[in-house]
Structure 1
Amino acid sequence: MSISPSVLDDRRADVPARAIAALTGPDARFASGPEDVLGTTTPVFTHRQRNLPGVMEAAAAAHPERPFVVDAAAAAGSDVLTYGEARELIVRRAGQLAAQGVRPGDRVAIAAANQTEYVLCAWATLYAGAVTVGMNGWWTGAELEYATELVGPALLLVDEKRRERLTGRTRDSTRVLTFAQLAAASAPQGSAPARHHDAPEDEAAVILFTSGTTGRSKGAVLSHRNLVHFAMSSALNGALNAASSGQPTSAGAGGGGGSVLSASPFFHISGSAMMLVAGPWSGLTLVIPPAGRWDEHRHLDLLARHRISKWSGVPTQYWRLLECEGFNAAELPHLSGLGAGGAVFPPKLVELVAERFPGVPIASGYGMSETFGLGTLLSGAQMHAHPDSLGTPTPLTRVQVRDAHGATVPEGETGEIWLHNASVFLGYWNDDKATADVLDADRWYRTGDFGRIEDGLLFLDSRLRDIVIRGGENVYPVEVENRLVEHPDIADAAVIGVPHPTLGQEVKAVVVPRPGSGLTADTVRDWAALALAAFKVPAHVEFRAQLPYSATGKVLKRELEADGG
């Protein structure tokens, strides 16, 4: 059983045929057709930019005076960059990168908190023809060191906090500069590109880190095509949703401006998508909140003060926002769209959001780094009728549910979820085996998740990789387990997720101590915290004499979960 790209017609029976024709006809903005993509026939948009610098050039030419980046923490008068101003600074930074020895095809890694210079340097890397590598700013020094050695960047750009964390942890051959140092560096005459490096669309543009069953971070390599396709598919879906509710298709198709609160880190899919392509493609203004822990009171103030039109958050943020003293949706008249991602969105929360934000549509998506977030989308009436589903495919996406032999299963039966679209990644950096494990000969991506298709909707049944999703952050149990068993007093360990009322899940470690060790829960947590980011450290620790194993030597985590961990 498969869901095909017929989502553009019969799968969108809620959209008037005239609106679909106006959006997707041969000469329309979202016209599409099959093309050869890396040896595989793939549906693509006909009228597209061929690389990311082309997207920014078009945005700067179309609305040079429109604000592109607003830094909510910056001093008054220096907190706004228009598209025209940003483009000029990007070209200058590209010249400075070239003067530092960065060449087309090189990697430039960035480890920093969200800020204007992050945006400029990520774009400048692309203008220079290099690959932007987003490093998790919450990683420990050891984790940053591992990722740096994996991708071998020509340059590592950091803020002051990350520089301190990396002190003594990078090879002599790895050049590390702060944003301030790069901005102060001179760019010799002629080092800046006259326009930008005209990269082929299937050339690498971005590397985002993900993790697999081994628990070690892998670099997912994404092309210019991958990101541009994401922007157009998302915009078309927005236009179709607008048409289904009787609004003009221009209300959702992008290009008309508006503002988005960029609360998601730029090294995440949602943050990088808005910064690198969806924002410029749609002419949006990116409002960067002050650094630090997310705070619902400050968030409400930012939504109102900056007249935010779009915001996407994880369930725990929505719970805190709706329960915040002083919350009043009437004070947010410009809010026109809400997004949900990062964790399962509970049906009760869907109802509460609809009640507290009357008339504001909300949508949730299913995707991953390897598809640049594109897979399925749940929105509108479907989200309220079937909040437990993953929805239907995004435009020009195909979904299949397959058995262990690769054959599609009948409707209603559980199998492994596979995705195919023009946003499927190039592969994992320097890891051909891991790439071959998830990409078949026709470039279908194996998600590692199990689900089923019923009545044209995709449902998630289980996650093959046992990922714990804590407040929108993926925690891979094997990575935590590997750290725990390095402790001399821990004989065995298993990590699972347990329910949490606002975070969705919390990390729990089930530990087998060595006889006579005197191991305590605090010792376990402190040991984990020495090597892992805070969100990966187990909040709960239980001690057992032994773990349940199957005949093939695998820990029976379902038994642990059934026993309450």
Structure 2
Amino acid sequence: MGIEMVLDMAVSVHPERQALGRRGSGMTYEQLNDAACRGAAILREHEAAHVVFVGVNGPILPVLTFSSARAGIPIAPLNYRLPADQLRDLIGQLDKPVIVADSAYRDNLDTAADVVLTSAEFLELASSEGPTVTDTADDRSTAVVLFTSGTTSAPKGVLLRHQHLLSYLLNTVEFASAADDEATLVSTPPYHIAGMGAVLSNVYAGRRMAYLPDFTPQGWLDLIRGEEITSAMVVPTMLARVVDHLDGRSGDSPRLGTLAYGGARMPQPVLERALVAFPDTGFVNAYGLTETSSTIAVLGPDDHREALADPDRKGRLSSVGRIVPGIEAQIRDEEDAVLAAGETGLLWVRGGQVSGEYMGKGSALDADGWFPTRDQARIEDGFLYIGGRADDTIIRGGENIAPAEIEDVLAHHVDVRDLAVIGVPDDEWGERICAVIVPTGASHASADEVRSWCRERLRGSRTPDDVVFVEELPRTATGKLVRRDLVAQVAD
């Protein structure tokens, strides 16, 4: 059995419950299943070995996800923001693709595959009378191909097998746990693991999915209120824009019971402002990687509120919480020796949901099944703290410096709206510490004033050598800093 089992289970319990769309105007679970069975027949008819999706999140994604599962082929959602030549390059790595694309992107992909359909065309075909396929997938076969964001190197195709995704669901989500009036707002992109995870976890829980294809702070708030959304997930840049938009006012969303965030580092000042703006909402920090089939650590609502109320626990707001059931974690040094609790090293994880497998490159798991996340981390009092990517480490005069250590301090400066700390080449020290800051306004502290402020709060070796002010930082749609682009920009 593959991930189509998730939809089968939902249909068996509540076939008439609405699964997708705005209230009263979307698909029920039974209709979603019917569309997936017909969609699988369409893919079989075209002899597809992959189905590629290029478009924004919406009802088409769950239809395609379960269509591909019933057809026994992987779905590969691609970043619709990429230039056409990069999209074609990624598509060229996939065998016998059928492309389904939103109309805005279809024309650029006309010759990228033998079959190119718009999202509307596929939905219309899947909603019409015709042959159906009700097959089940082999749980060892590939269900999803997700390309990494390529923030530090060329994108790699991560292979997530049905067994990995099912392990994630069975260990972290309770089946049919949502009430019939619960709804979630999906605003994460489909090419991100959070977008795919939203499809599976919400169908498994039985929760209606509403969509916000084009994020704006007011649009997000309007949909949260108008659709009486009970849960949502955002990336840090989205939450920062919402709290800036509210500017100290209440979020006024009484039905919003849970607000999850992840995908990139959350600045603590942004989180604290959000907790005040949404006092009745339970916040959840969900940490995971594409290679781990989504979440492997969670900082829950009680942890957030306790940390906000207790100065001795406030530091926990910078953690990603506790490791979820089914996952083991170790902190190792560069020689793979396991470190003691509280020591900083590299995070390794193991469990049924961990893939660690790349298209054309094989598995990154070691002989005992452990996956190297390449994230610097420590585990303290059972809470996992992430210190950034190992590749981002600044080596200044032979001393290893984690940018996150400096960023966490600078984020509290009143004149800092966004920032990143990077290493830039230096003949004497090897690398210099450079703080790149997006200021809150035209009038702000000088570079020397920022450095003096840091020196009072950090060790001298951690004080930035340089401070550069810019209008914005290069980030992906999910808020990840494209560090190599920033280094090049500053160096230029």
TM-score, normalization: structure 1?
Answer: 0.66
Letter paired with 2:177: G
Residues 271-330 of structure 1 show CA distances to partners (whole Å, capped at 9, x for unaligned) of: 11111x1011000111012x33x2111111100111100011122222322333599657
Q: Are 2:100 and 1:152 equivalent residues in the alignment?
A: no
Residue of 195, 201, 206 corresponding to 2:139: 201
CA distance in 1: counterparts of 2:233 and 2:386, whole angstroms = 21
Query: What is the SS of the residue equivalent to 1:367?
Result: strand
CA distance in 1: counterparts of 2:152 and 2:387, whole angstroms = 22
> Deviating runs (4+, > 6 A) in structure 1?
186-190, 494-497
Contact 1:372 1:423 in 2 (8 A): yes
CA distance in 1: counterparts of 2:433 and 2:87, whole angstroms = 23
Letter paired with 1:264: T
Residue of 379, 400, 419 corresponding to 2:330: 400
Q: Are 2:208 and 1:285 equivalent residues in the alignment?
A: yes
Unaligned 5+ residue runs, structure 2?
308-312, 394-402, 405-419, 423-431, 441-471
Q: Are 2:254 and 1:333 equivalent residues in the alignment?
A: yes
CA distance in 1: counterparts of 2:346 and 2:246, whole angstroms = 43
Residue in 1 that maps onto 2:286: 365
- Distance 1:299-1:340 versus aligned 2 partners, 3 A rule: same
Contact 1:204 1:221 in 2 (8 A): yes
- Distance 1:454-1:189 versus aligned 2 partners, 3 A rule: closer
- Distance 1:323-1:216 versus aligned 2 partners, 3 A rule: closer
CA distance in 2: counterparts of 1:347 and 1:214, whole angstroms = 24
Deviation at 1:71, TM superposition (A): 5.3
Deviation at 1:381, TM superposition (A): 4.0
Q: Are 2:272 and 1:356 equivalent residues in the alignment?
A: no
- Distance 1:182-1:337 versus aligned 2 partners, 3 A rule: closer
- Distance 1:187-1:351 versus aligned 2 partners, 3 A rule: closer
Residue in 1 that maps onto 2:489: 541
Deviation at 1:184, TM superposition (A): 5.5
Residue of 2, 7, 10 corresponding to 1:59: 10
Q: Are 2:141 and 1:217 equivalent residues in the alignment?
A: no
- Distance 1:96-1:216 versus aligned 2 partners, 3 A rule: same
Deviation at 1:390, TM superposition (A): 2.3
CA distance in 2: counterparts of 1:302 and 1:99, whole angstroms = 38
Residue of 48, 52, 74 corresponding to 1:109: 52
CA distance in 2: counterparts of 1:66 and 1:187, whole angstroms = 18
Residue of 210, 227, 251 corresponding to 1:306: 227
Q: State the identity as a percent.
A: 25
CA distance in 2: counterparts of 1:122 and 1:281, whole angstroms = 14
Query: What is the SS of the residue equivalent to 2:156?
Result: strand
- Distance 1:538-1:214 versus aligned 2 partners, 3 A rule: closer
Give aligned pairs, total.
415
Deviates more, 1:142-151 or 1:327-336: 327-336
Residue of 371, 384, 404 corresponding to 1:445: 371
Residue in 1 that maps onto 2:339: 409
Residue in 1 that maps onto 2:33: 87
Letter paired with 2:116: V
Query: What is the SS of the residue equivalent to 1:319?
Result: helix
CA distance in 2: counterparts of 1:69 and 1:190, whole angstroms = 22
Deviation at 1:450, TM superposition (A): 1.4
Deviation at 1:539, TM superposition (A): 11
TM-score, normalization: structure 2?
Answer: 0.75
CA distance in 1: counterparts of 2:87 and 2:151, whole angstroms = 20
Q: Are 2:86 and 1:143 equivalent residues in the alignment?
A: yes
Letter paired with 2:74: V
CA distance in 2: counterparts of 1:534 and 1:407, whole angstroms = 30
Alignment root-mean-square deviation, CA: 3.7
- Distance 1:117-1:391 versus aligned 2 partners, 3 A rule: closer
Q: Are 2:183 and 1:259 equivalent residues in the alignment?
A: yes
Letter paired with 1:377: V
CA distance in 2: counterparts of 1:426 and 1:381, whole angstroms = 32
CA distance in 1: counterparts of 2:323 and 2:438, whole angstroms = 29
Contact 1:260 1:284 in 2 (8 A): yes
Contact 1:300 1:327 in 2 (8 A): no
Contact 2:159 2:359 in 1 (8 A): yes
Q: Are 2:209 and 1:271 equivalent residues in the alignment?
A: no
Letter paired with 2:277: R
Deviation at 1:333, TM superposition (A): 2.0
- Distance 1:495-1:131 versus aligned 2 partners, 3 A rule: farther
Unaligned 5+ residue runs, structure 1?
1-49, 237-249, 470-474, 478-493, 503-524, 545-565
